[in-house]
């Protein structure tokens, strides 16, 4: 894997952790009632997707456990189809999918660290 790929993977991890931090202790009702929270989470998903989009084809091939197409696809939907964003999908992505993404990214980055 290319060295720059680790920078993008680390950025994905940082943004996913920020999203989880913002969501900590929040309910679906909190999400629905806070435009600021929704916009912040959408922005973080956009950044995660853009960082994923920058990972080389070799980096993607080396980490097939990451759902690359789904991550980048979410970024494209947030940026290009912002009027059609399904808030249920955003909520589920942040509440259910990001914890697993964080776990995988931590493992990948830990494996890349020199011993």
Among all residues, which ones are annotated catalytic? 75, 80
Dihedral (Cα; 65, 17, 69, 5), 10-degree rounding? -70
DSSP string, 27-59: -HHHHHH-HHHHHHHHHHHHHHHHHHHHS-HHH
**67 CB neighbour count, 10 Å cutoff:** 15
- From CA 92, how far away is CA 55, in angstroms rounded? 24
């Amino acid at each position: 894997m290319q060295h720059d790929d680790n920078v993008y993977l680390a950025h994905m991890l940082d943004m996913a952790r920020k999203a989880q931090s913002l969501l900590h202790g929040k309910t679906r009702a909190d999400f629905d009632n806070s435009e600021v929270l929704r916009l912040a989470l959408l922005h973080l998903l956009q950044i995660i997707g853009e960082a994923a989009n920058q990972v080389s084809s070799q980096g993607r091939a080396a980490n097939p456990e990451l759902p690359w197409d789904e991550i980048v696809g979410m970024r494209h939907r947030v940026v290009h189809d912002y009027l059609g964003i399904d808030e249920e999908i955003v909520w589920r992505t942040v509440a259910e999918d990001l914890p697993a993404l964080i776990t995988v990214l931590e493992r990948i980055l830990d494996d890349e660290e020199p011993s």
